[in-house]
Structure 1
Amino acid sequence: MLNALEVFTTVVVGVMVGVEFSVAFVMNPIFNGLSDDSNQQARSHGGRMLGAVMPFWYIGSLVLAAVWAITGWGHRGTGLVVTAAALLIVSVVMSLLLLVPINNRGKTWTPETRPADWKEQMKRWDRYHYVRVAIIIGAFALLAAALV
């Protein structure tokens, strides 16, 4: 049972990392190459779509890591899992305090209603997102290391 939890948790976090990595290094650069209206509309749509899913994914990943740490307490690799869970906590707090407020504004914008500084706000979101991606990559690497 513990082995299944370990693998499932690692896969869930790994797929989340893949999605967030793709947003940072594939999708947003593609959007930035579009006209301002198309870029902003794509980011707004992405903010609505991923904004509806990612809270469950981040919290679910954290819960899975915590359950793994508790269930596997005393087993080899538990320290790595606890550290990964701590990094996932940082990613959730960072999301709530820094990224979600920008996303909540951005997902309502249209070409007619976006503020004059919308590009600066998106650049700020991107910078925070790069840091968050690094944090969750670290958590994923720790979980993967705890498997072996």
Structure 2
Amino acid sequence: MFNALAVCTTVVVGVMVGVEFSVAFVINPILNALPDDSTLRGRAHGGRMLGAVMPVWYIGSLALVTAWAITGRHHHDTGLVATSGALLLLSVIMSILLLVPINDRGKTWTPEDRPADWRRQMNRWDRYHYARVAVIVAAFALLVTALA
């Protein structure tokens, strides 16, 4: 059962990392290359769609890592799992404090009512997102190391 938890946790976190990596380095660069109205509409739609899913995914991942750390507390790799959990907690805090406020504004924008600085706000979101991706990639690498 413990091994199943470890594998399941690693897969769930890994897929989340893949989605967030894709947003940062594939989806948003594609959207940013489109004309302004299309960029805005695409990013607003993505903000609504992923904004509904990602909180559950982040908290669920953190819960799985916490369960792994607790059930495996006597294993030699518990420090790696606990550190991964701390990084995932940091990513949740970063999300709440830095990314969600921008996303909450951006997901309601339309070409008719967007603020003058909408691109600057999206660029700020992107920079925060790059940092969050680095944090969750590190968390994932620790889980893979603990699993190996």
Question: How far apart are the structure 1 equivalents of 2:14 and 2:76?
Answer: 21
Q: CA deviation at 1:76?
A: 1.9
- Cα-to-partner distance string for 1:17-47 (whole Å, 9 max, x where unaligned): 0000000000000001100000000000000
Aligned to 1:16, the other structure's residue is in SS state helix
Q: Paired residue for 1:141? A: 141
Q: Which runs of 4+ in 1 moved over 3 A?
A: none
Residue 24 of structure 1 pairs with residue 24 of structure 2: yes
Relative to the length of structure 2, the TM-score reads 1.00
Question: How far apart are the structure 1 equivalents of 2:99 and 2:74?
Answer: 36
Q: Paired residue for 2:74? A: 74
Q: How many percent identity over aligned positions? A: 73
Question: How far apart are the structure 2 equivalents of 1:91 and 1:11?
Answer: 18
Q: Which structure 2 residue ranges, 5 or more long, are not aligned?
A: none
Q: Paired residue for 2:90? A: 90
Question: How far apart are the structure 1 equivalents of 2:30 and 2:76?
Answer: 43
Question: How far apart are the structure 1 equivalents of 2:113 and 2:77?
Answer: 51
Q: CA deviation at 1:71?
A: 0.3
Q: CA deviation at 1:74?
A: 1.3
Aligned to 1:122, the other structure's residue is in SS state helix
Question: How far apart are the structure 1 equivalents of 2:4 and 2:74?
Answer: 17
Q: Paired residue for 1:114? A: 114
- Cα-to-partner distance string for 1:79-118 (whole Å, 9 max, x where unaligned): 0000000000000000000000000000000000110000
Q: Which amino acid aligns with 2:29?
A: P
Question: How far apart are the structure 1 equivalents of 2:38 and 2:51?
Answer: 19
Aligned CA-pair RMSD? 0.3
Relative to the length of structure 1, the TM-score reads 1.00
Aligned length: 148
Residue 99 of structure 1 pairs with residue 92 of structure 2: no
- Cα-to-partner distance string for 1:48-67 (whole Å, 9 max, x where unaligned): 00000000000000000000
Q: Which structure 1 residue ranges, 5 or more long, are not aligned?
A: none
